[in-house]
Chains A and B, each alone.
Chain A
Amino acid sequence: MQNGEIAFYLLSAGAITFALLTITRKSAVVSALMLVLTFCFLAALYLTLSAQFLAVVQVAVYAGAIMVLVLFVIMLLNLESEDIHVSKNWKAVVGLLAAMGVLAQVLAMIFMSQDKFPKTISPNAAILGTTESVGRTLYTAYSFPFEMASLILISAAVGAVVLAKKRLT
């Protein structure tokens, strides 16, 4: 096995392990910290695909900004841990079965169309993933959606302030 393959399998095993820990921990704080680790492993997986820009944005925006916001809310609400009894709750069992069904469907789709996939990573993948190249595309071909993204962010910020401030009766 080459170094790249070993790195991929280690990183994906790490991502899946920490994702499982995220959904099984009782305390919300531990869950959030496990999710931060999952996001870091995913950023490393993006690096194995040589998507450097998105790997850095993943760490900065997801593992940094969004998870700090989540931890802040957990701190504000001062939550007690929830007890998880999957076996005693039939709704949880149905939920798990439905999730398994989703997984089986997606895996079936992947392996049915496997022979149509490109065999190797594109030769210019390393160029496509750089900040320069992504930035150039964003500011030329996608400049209008880029501006719309800033509108979404400002309206979300205003909406969040209004929602969190007002006491609903």
Chain B
Amino acid sequence: MKKILTRYFSGEDFDYHFVLSLLGPVIFDQFFWWFLILSTRQ
């Protein structure tokens, strides 16, 4: 897993930890926003 993450999500100036730490909150944010829209329209 670590190998795959390093291969696809690491660069010369950043590693996959940086990429995932950026991506994680954005996914959570969008998921919560979707949940809010869904619960409002339900």
Same complex:
no
